[in-house]
A = this chain, B = another copy of it.
Amino acid sequence: MTPDNNDPLKMVHELAARVQHLEDTIEIQQLQSKYVHYLFKQRFDRIVDECFAKKVPDVSVEFSDSGVYRGLDSVRAVYRSFEVTKTMPGFFILHMTVNPVIEIAKDGLSARSHWLSPGAAGSDTSAAWIWGPFYIDYVKEDGRWRIAHSNLVPLFRNRYETSWAQATEHGTVRGVLSAQPDEPSTFYKPYNEVKKQRDIFAAHPPLPQPY
């Protein structure tokens, strides 16, 4: 036992920093869960208010072939354009996010993460599987964690009737959304193209490292 272990004030400050790190990890996990629940339940109005950063100028969201929605106005616009899905009979998007690798910055104010996502979507006339990785950065704003950048890059988006290997097209999110993206997709490609390649994850980012 080192001498420091007898200085309660110093120990309690060190312990407080470790507890803060644990709380940050759990809060980020709960924030991410909140996001997927709101998306599933079509509470689109809550998503930007409660889940996204307000003070990050290049805040962004991207999913499948959506392109990048950049800046708070664009992020608000894309979730507002999802409202139309409430009028579609039986419509749902069920993205779950599991197996987080979360790396919180040494200053405790930002974090980088990778998740894996099993998922399904549907309506009265269509059913599809949507599975793949999710890359998300977070920031702490006014003491609360928020999403700064979110990118869902599904590996496959095949209709139920045909497997990911057999499907000749893997769908698009462009048809349903009236909001226009600010930038093209960063590296998403449909599996019917990807499957012709080798080492298919070469373009994906490496796991977040300490920073």
Stretch of A58-66, A72-80, A98-106, A138-146 contacting B (4+ beta carbons < 8 Å): A98-106
Chain A positions 148 through 168: 1 when the CB is less than 8 Å from some CB of chain B, otherwise 0: 000000011000110111100
| Contact of A22 with B26 at beta-carbon distance under 8 Å, contacts A89-B197, A201-B40 already known | yes
Chain A: number of interface residues, binned into ranges:
35 or more
* Residues in B neighbouring A156, C-beta threshold 8 A: 120, 122
C-alpha spacing A114/B34, complex, angstroms: 9
A82 touches B (CB below 8 Å): no
A87 touches B195 (CB 8 A): no
- Taking CB atoms and an 8 Å cut-off, the chain A residues in 68-125 that contact chain B are 86-92, 94, 96-102, 114, 116, 118, 120, 122-125
Contact with B along A168-211 (1 / 0, CB 8 A): 00000000000000000000000100111111110010110000
Interface residues of A (CB under 8 A from B): 5-6, 8-9, 11-13, 15-16, 18-19, 22-23, 25-26, 30, 32-34, 36-38, 40-43, 86-92, 94, 96-102, 114, 116, 118, 120, 122-127, 131-133, 155-156, 160-161, 163-166, 191, 194-201, 204, 206-207
